[in-house]
Amino acid sequence: MNAFQYDAHQIKEQARLIRRHVIRLNADSPAGGHTGADLSETDILATLYFRILNTGPERTEDPERDIYIQSKGHGVGGLYCCLAQAGYIPTEWLPTYQHFNSHLPGHPVRQKTPGIELNTGALGHGLPVAVGLALAAKMSGSKKRIYVLTGDGELAEGSNWEAAMAAAKYGLDNLFVIVDKNKLQLAGLTAEIMPLDPLDVKWAAFGFSVSECNGNDVGQLIEALETMQAKTGKPQVLIAHTIKGKGVSFIEARPEWHHRVPKGDEINAALEELNHGE
């Protein structure tokens, strides 16, 4: 059972607060950050950590906890902010992001940060490890579920599709892949750099049960993820259609914010937009 079990309204408020943390975190970083990715994934992370995952801040060593893997490791800033908001790490750590000897390095490191399950950053590694964890859970009779978040740009890595084939072969219905499909990667549109569509058909051809939703709509995320939990026989994938930089108008859908951080007046402008919930 999830430690919070929040409803959609409560999760939306947590997502708003996480986004405010993201702006400050990236603004304080001496080594830049990935503001666009952090903001696009926020609603997904908030829904997972405040409702879906069978885990909590007191259960990080529980062998039966659900496992979450941030395969798109460059979006770790958003994950740190979510972990802080959910009580896994102190909020006082957030201003130390990417500082020397920080608990919060620029990519996830299990040995440094409570709540991090896998060291990621080299794209295409999270899903293969998630498949191994899901298979191990099946073989040992565990009821734990394995969730992994990828980016649409990351799916250009062939290791993802090798892992997908293995997941289907072993019928890993305890594996849940979420694609943060924000349609941008690095310097441009994914459709121009390395086209993916029809992405739903690709996943289905690899033996997955495919769902889709608006990945910035908490209500749709809850419905999709809880419906997926009831399905059996196949690994699951949720294609979550998001907006890169969601929540701050001058960051949304702008490629340059892939590796840009707010500065000066941009910080206050972003925080002002995120000052009030719906």
pLDDT score at 278: 58
Residue with tokens 């979510």: 82
Residue with tokens 């594996």: 175
- Percent helix, strand, coil in the chain, to 5, is 45, 10, 45
pLDDT score at 208: 98
Residue 146 DSSP one-character state:
E
What is the C-alpha to C-alpha distance for residues 165 and 130, in angstroms, rounded to an integer? 13
Determine the residue type at 64: E
Q: 147 pairs with which residues across the strands?
A: 68, 176
Mean pLDDT in consecutive groups of 10 residues from the start of the chain, 278 residues: 96 98 97 96 98 97 97 97 98 97 97 97 95 98 98 96 98 98 93 96 98 98 97 97 98 95 96 84
What is the C-alpha to C-alpha distance for residues 121 and 107, in angstroms, rounded to an integer? 6
* CB proximity list for 245: less than 8 A, separation 6 or greater: 35, 36, 39, 40, 251, 252, 253, 254, 257
pLDDT score at 277: 61
What is the C-alpha to C-alpha distance for residues 57 and 5, in angstroms, rounded to an integer? 13
Residue 210 DSSP one-character state:
E
Q: Can you list the domains of the chain with their CATH numbers?
A: 8-273 (3.40.50.970)
Q: Mind giving me the DSSP string for 212-275?
A: EEETT-HHHHHHHHHHHHT--SS-EEEEEE--TTTT-TTTTT-GGGGS----THHHHHHHHHTS
pLDDT score at 14: 98
